[in-house]
Amino acid sequence: ETGVTQSPTHLIKTRGQQVTLRCSSQSGHNTVSWYQQALGQGPQFIFQYYREEENGRGNFPPRFSGLQFPNYSSELNVNALELDDSALYLCASSRFHGAVEQYFGPGTRLTVT
């Protein structure tokens, strides 16, 4: 097990609602990346946070946003939820920006109905 934790474990939301997912990085890691894994697919990069700023973004719309806090923990916010947002959301932390090794948390399973 890595030292990366995520909450909540599972979440059910209704289309149009907003959701916040949380991630605590492994001790000593200052970079957090978020990935979306739809059913039957490989994880897709959403964005990365380093020193409290977004540092790289994948092909996701602006309604996907994030924050990183001074303790390096992070939040993923999704507004105006759509059915296709149903997925496993994975957080990964790394020791520093540019580090190739990333350590994954257990994920948050989001279901949008």
Partner 1 sequence: AQSVAQPEDQVNVAEGNPLTVKCTYSVSGNPYLFWYVQYPNRGLQFLLKYITGDNLVKGSYGFEAEFNKSQTSFHLKKPSALVSDSALYFCAVVSSNTGKLIFGQGTTLQVKP
Binding stretches for partner 1 (CB under 8 A)? 6, 31, 33, 35, 40-45, 48, 55-56, 58, 90, 92, 94, 97-107, 109
Residue 52 vs 80, nearer CB to partner 1: 52
Residue 45 vs 69, nearer CB to partner 1: 45
Q: How far is the CB of 16 from partner 1 (least distance, A)?
A: 27
CB-CB contact of 112 with 63 (8 Å)? no
Q: How far is the CB of 56 from partner 1 (least distance, A)?
A: 4
How far apart CA 16 and CA 21 sit, in angstroms, is 16
How far apart CA 56 and CA 99 sit, in angstroms, is 14
Residue 55 vs 73, nearer CB to partner 1: 55
Hey, what amino acid is at 108? T
Q: How far is the CB of 48 from partner 1 (least distance, A)?
A: 6
Torsion angle of alpha carbons 58, 35, 50, 26, nearest 10°? -170
